[in-house]
A and B are shown apart, each in its own frame.
Chain A
Amino acid sequence: SAVISQKPSRDICQRGTSLTIQCQVDSQVTMMFWYRQQPGQSLTLIATANQGSEATYESGFVIDKFPISRPNLTFSTLTVSNMSPEDSSIYLCSVLEGGRGTEAFFGQGTRLTVV
Protein backbone atom coordinates (compact mmCIF):
# COMPACT_ATOMS: atom_id res chain seq x y z
CA SER A 1 0.00 0.00 0.00
CA ALA A 2 1.10 3.53 -0.72
CA VAL A 3 2.62 5.51 2.13
CA ILE A 4 1.83 9.21 2.06
CA SER A 5 3.73 11.85 4.01
CA GLN A 6 1.99 15.16 4.45
CA LYS A 7 3.58 18.33 5.84
CA PRO A 8 2.95 20.25 7.97
CA SER A 9 0.78 18.17 10.26
CA ARG A 10 -0.74 21.30 11.75
CA ASP A 11 -0.34 25.06 11.63
CA ILE A 12 -1.86 28.20 13.03
CA CYS A 13 -1.85 31.05 10.53
CA GLN A 14 -2.82 34.69 10.44
CA ARG A 15 -5.68 35.72 8.22
CA GLY A 16 -4.61 37.07 4.87
CA THR A 17 -1.53 34.86 4.65
CA SER A 18 -0.99 31.69 2.60
CA LEU A 19 0.06 28.18 3.55
CA THR A 20 1.51 25.51 1.29
CA ILE A 21 0.91 21.89 2.17
CA GLN A 22 3.17 19.20 0.78
CA CYS A 23 2.25 15.62 -0.08
CA GLN A 24 4.93 13.02 -0.82
CA VAL A 25 4.10 9.47 -1.92
CA ASP A 26 6.53 6.57 -1.69
CA SER A 27 5.59 5.28 -5.15
CA GLN A 28 4.60 6.74 -8.50
CA VAL A 29 0.86 7.28 -8.74
CA THR A 30 -1.26 8.65 -11.53
CA MET A 31 -4.21 9.89 -9.53
CA MET A 32 -3.71 12.26 -6.61
CA PHE A 33 -6.42 14.26 -4.87
CA TRP A 34 -6.84 16.98 -2.28
CA TYR A 35 -9.76 16.98 0.15
CA ARG A 36 -11.01 19.38 2.79
CA GLN A 37 -12.69 18.33 6.03
CA GLN A 38 -14.36 21.20 7.81
CA PRO A 39 -15.01 20.88 11.55
CA GLY A 40 -17.62 18.22 12.24
CA GLN A 41 -18.10 17.50 8.55
CA SER A 42 -17.08 14.79 6.16
CA LEU A 43 -14.55 15.05 3.37
CA THR A 44 -15.13 17.17 0.29
CA LEU A 45 -12.99 16.87 -2.82
CA ILE A 46 -11.17 20.11 -3.67
CA ALA A 47 -9.37 19.04 -6.83
CA THR A 48 -7.58 16.33 -8.75
CA ALA A 49 -3.88 17.03 -9.11
CA ASN A 50 -2.81 16.13 -12.65
CA GLN A 51 0.85 15.55 -13.43
CA GLY A 52 2.06 17.88 -16.13
CA SER A 53 -1.16 19.86 -16.44
CA GLU A 54 -3.44 22.09 -14.42
CA ALA A 55 -5.47 20.63 -11.60
CA THR A 56 -9.14 19.88 -12.10
CA TYR A 57 -11.24 21.71 -9.50
CA GLU A 58 -14.61 20.72 -8.09
CA SER A 59 -17.53 23.08 -7.98
CA GLY A 60 -17.00 25.74 -5.34
CA PHE A 61 -13.20 25.61 -5.44
CA VAL A 62 -11.05 27.86 -7.63
CA ILE A 63 -7.42 27.90 -8.63
CA ASP A 64 -6.77 31.39 -7.29
CA LYS A 65 -7.74 30.29 -3.80
CA PHE A 66 -6.29 26.76 -3.89
CA PRO A 67 -3.40 26.62 -6.37
CA ILE A 68 -2.03 23.11 -6.81
CA SER A 69 1.25 21.87 -8.21
CA ARG A 70 2.06 18.34 -9.41
CA PRO A 71 5.63 18.39 -10.72
CA ASN A 72 6.01 14.60 -10.82
CA LEU A 73 4.24 11.32 -10.04
CA THR A 74 5.22 11.27 -6.35
CA PHE A 75 4.71 14.83 -5.15
CA SER A 76 2.06 17.53 -4.98
CA THR A 77 1.42 20.75 -3.11
CA LEU A 78 -1.78 22.57 -2.18
CA THR A 79 -1.66 26.23 -1.26
CA VAL A 80 -4.44 27.85 0.73
CA SER A 81 -4.27 31.50 -0.27
CA ASN A 82 -5.41 34.69 1.44
CA MET A 83 -6.71 32.70 4.36
CA SER A 84 -9.73 33.54 6.47
CA PRO A 85 -11.06 31.77 9.59
CA GLU A 86 -13.50 29.90 7.32
CA ASP A 87 -10.51 28.06 5.85
CA SER A 88 -9.84 26.39 9.20
CA SER A 89 -10.11 22.70 8.32
CA ILE A 90 -8.18 19.51 7.94
CA TYR A 91 -6.69 19.21 4.45
CA LEU A 92 -5.92 15.71 3.22
CA CYS A 93 -3.96 14.34 0.32
CA SER A 94 -5.08 11.06 -1.23
CA VAL A 95 -3.98 8.70 -3.98
CA LEU A 96 -5.46 5.86 -5.95
CA GLU A 97 -2.40 3.68 -6.12
CA GLY A 98 -3.49 1.65 -9.11
CA GLY A 99 -5.75 4.18 -10.80
CA ARG A 100 -9.54 4.20 -10.99
CA GLY A 101 -11.28 1.42 -9.14
CA THR A 102 -8.42 0.71 -6.77
CA GLU A 103 -7.91 1.34 -3.09
CA ALA A 104 -7.59 4.92 -1.91
CA PHE A 105 -4.93 5.90 0.62
CA PHE A 106 -4.72 9.07 2.62
CA GLY A 107 -2.08 11.15 4.27
CA GLN A 108 -2.35 12.03 7.94
CA GLY A 109 -3.80 15.41 7.12
CA THR A 110 -2.89 19.00 7.87
CA ARG A 111 -4.92 20.67 10.59
CA LEU A 112 -5.10 24.35 9.72
CA THR A 113 -6.34 27.00 12.12
CA VAL A 114 -6.68 30.56 10.84
CA VAL A 115 -6.82 33.32 13.45
Chain B
Amino acid sequence: KQEVTQIPAALSVPEGENLVLNCSFTDSAIYNLQWFRQDPGKGLTSLLLIQSSQREQTSGRLNASLDKSSGRSTLYIAASQPGDSATYLCAVEPGGGADGLTFGKGTHLIIQP
Protein backbone atom coordinates (compact mmCIF):
# COMPACT_ATOMS: atom_id res chain seq x y z
CA LYS B 1 0.00 0.00 0.00
CA GLN B 2 1.36 3.40 -1.00
CA GLU B 3 2.34 5.66 1.89
CA VAL B 4 3.35 9.30 1.61
CA THR B 5 5.36 11.08 4.29
CA GLN B 6 6.08 14.77 4.54
CA ILE B 7 8.83 16.35 6.56
CA PRO B 8 8.79 18.65 8.45
CA ALA B 9 5.25 18.63 9.80
CA ALA B 10 5.55 22.33 10.59
CA LEU B 11 7.97 25.08 9.74
CA SER B 12 8.19 28.73 10.76
CA VAL B 13 10.76 31.00 9.08
CA PRO B 14 11.33 34.71 8.61
CA GLU B 15 10.26 36.36 5.41
CA GLY B 16 12.78 36.22 2.58
CA GLU B 17 14.28 32.83 3.35
CA ASN B 18 14.55 30.05 0.81
CA LEU B 19 13.10 26.81 2.08
CA VAL B 20 12.69 23.18 1.17
CA LEU B 21 9.76 20.89 1.92
CA ASN B 22 10.28 17.16 1.65
CA CYS B 23 8.00 14.36 0.51
CA SER B 24 8.70 10.65 0.31
CA PHE B 25 6.62 7.75 -0.99
CA THR B 26 7.01 4.02 -0.57
CA ASP B 27 5.99 2.68 -4.00
CA SER B 28 7.78 4.08 -7.04
CA ALA B 29 5.04 2.85 -9.40
CA ILE B 30 3.32 6.21 -9.82
CA TYR B 31 1.80 8.17 -12.67
CA ASN B 32 2.80 11.49 -11.18
CA LEU B 33 3.35 13.56 -8.06
CA GLN B 34 1.49 16.75 -7.34
CA TRP B 35 2.06 19.53 -4.83
CA PHE B 36 -0.91 21.43 -3.45
CA ARG B 37 -1.45 24.37 -1.18
CA GLN B 38 -4.32 24.47 1.31
CA ASP B 39 -5.33 27.60 3.17
CA PRO B 40 -7.21 27.18 6.47
CA GLY B 41 -10.71 25.79 5.97
CA LYS B 42 -10.35 25.86 2.19
CA GLY B 43 -9.96 23.47 -0.68
CA LEU B 44 -6.73 22.58 -2.44
CA THR B 45 -4.90 24.68 -5.01
CA SER B 46 -2.65 22.81 -7.40
CA LEU B 47 0.88 24.17 -7.45
CA LEU B 48 2.96 21.80 -9.54
CA LEU B 49 2.46 18.46 -11.28
CA ILE B 50 5.48 16.30 -12.07
CA GLN B 51 4.96 13.34 -14.36
CA SER B 52 6.81 10.14 -13.48
CA SER B 53 9.15 10.64 -16.46
CA GLN B 54 10.09 14.17 -15.40
CA ARG B 55 12.73 15.34 -12.94
CA GLU B 56 11.42 18.77 -12.04
CA GLN B 57 8.86 21.48 -12.66
CA THR B 58 9.01 25.20 -12.00
CA SER B 59 6.39 27.86 -11.51
CA GLY B 60 7.49 31.31 -10.42
CA ARG B 61 9.26 31.03 -7.08
CA LEU B 62 8.39 27.36 -6.76
CA ASN B 63 10.48 24.46 -7.98
CA ALA B 64 9.59 20.83 -7.41
CA SER B 65 11.88 17.90 -8.09
CA LEU B 66 11.14 14.21 -8.35
CA ASP B 67 13.42 11.22 -7.87
CA LYS B 68 11.07 8.36 -8.57
CA SER B 69 13.58 5.60 -8.01
CA SER B 70 14.33 6.76 -4.48
CA GLY B 71 10.73 7.76 -3.77
CA ARG B 72 11.45 11.40 -3.01
CA SER B 73 10.28 14.84 -4.00
CA THR B 74 11.19 18.28 -2.77
CA LEU B 75 9.37 21.58 -3.07
CA TYR B 76 11.69 24.56 -3.07
CA ILE B 77 10.23 27.98 -2.27
CA ALA B 78 12.48 30.92 -3.06
CA ALA B 79 12.35 34.27 -1.29
CA SER B 80 9.44 33.30 0.94
CA GLN B 81 6.65 35.81 1.63
CA PRO B 82 3.96 35.99 4.35
CA GLY B 83 1.40 35.11 1.66
CA ASP B 84 3.11 31.73 1.28
CA SER B 85 1.83 30.76 4.73
CA ALA B 86 -0.37 27.69 4.25
CA THR B 87 -0.31 23.92 4.49
CA TYR B 88 1.54 22.27 1.63
CA LEU B 89 0.40 18.80 0.62
CA CYS B 90 2.20 16.26 -1.50
CA ALA B 91 0.18 13.59 -3.31
CA VAL B 92 0.96 10.75 -5.68
CA GLU B 93 -1.28 9.06 -8.20
CA PRO B 94 -0.59 5.34 -7.95
CA GLY B 95 0.27 3.67 -11.22
CA GLY B 96 -1.20 0.26 -10.46
CA GLY B 97 -4.78 1.03 -11.37
CA ALA B 98 -5.85 2.29 -7.97
CA ASP B 99 -8.11 5.30 -8.08
CA GLY B 100 -7.49 8.74 -6.70
CA LEU B 101 -4.48 10.31 -5.04
CA THR B 102 -2.59 9.27 -1.92
CA PHE B 103 -1.74 12.25 0.25
CA GLY B 104 0.85 13.04 2.85
CA LYS B 105 -0.17 14.79 6.05
CA GLY B 106 1.27 18.07 4.91
CA THR B 107 3.74 20.69 6.06
CA HIS B 108 2.21 23.62 7.92
CA LEU B 109 4.28 26.64 6.87
CA ILE B 110 4.32 30.01 8.58
CA ILE B 111 6.30 32.88 7.10
CA GLN B 112 6.96 35.55 9.68
CA PRO B 113 6.79 39.16 8.41
Known contacts A101-B93, A104-B91; decide if A109 and B100 are in contact (CB<8 Å). Answer: no
Q: Which residues of B contact A48 (CB under 8 A)?
A: 99-100
In the assembled complex, which residues on chain A have CB atoms less than 8 Å from the CB atom of B49? 102-103
State the main secondary structure of chain B at its contact with A: strand
Please give the residue numbers on chain B whose beta carbons come within 8 Å of chain A beta carbons, in ascending order: 31-32, 34, 36, 41-46, 49, 51, 89, 91, 93, 99-106
A104 adjacent to B34 (CB under 8 Å): yes
Q: Shortest beta-carbon distance, B20 to chain A, in Å?
A: 20
Q: Is the CB of A42 within 8 A of B106?
A: yes
Count how many pairs of residues, one from A and one from B, have CB atoms less than 8 Å apart in the complex. Answer: 62
Cα A56 to Cα B36 in complex, Å, equals 25
> A76: CB under 8 A from chain B?
no
> How far is it, in angstroms, between the C-alpha of A31 and the C-alpha of B32 when the chains are bound?
16
Report B-chain residues with C-beta under 8 Å of the C-beta of A106: 36, 43-46
Verify A103–B100 contact, CB threshold 8 A: no
Interface residues in chain A, defined as those with a beta carbon under 8 Å from any beta carbon in chain B: 1, 6, 31, 33, 35, 41-45, 48, 56, 58, 90, 92, 94, 96, 100-109, 111
Task: For the complex formed, measure the closest distance between the CB of B21 and the CB atoms of chain A, giving whole angstroms.
Answer: 14
Residues from chain A with Cβ under 8 Å of B51 in the complex: 101
Chain B residue numbers with a CB within 8 Å of A43 are 44, 89, 91, 101, 103
Give CA–CA (A102, B33) in the complex, Å: 10
Minimum CB–CB distance for A4 against chain B, Å: 8
The reply to whether A100 and B31 form a contact with Cβ atoms under 8 Å apart is yes
Contact A42 B103 (CB under 8 A): yes
Q: Find the residue from B41, B46, B91, B99 having the highest chain A CB count within 10 A.
A: B99
- State A105–B34 Cα separation when bound (angstroms): 11
Q: How far is the CB of B35 from chain A (nearest CB, A)?
A: 11
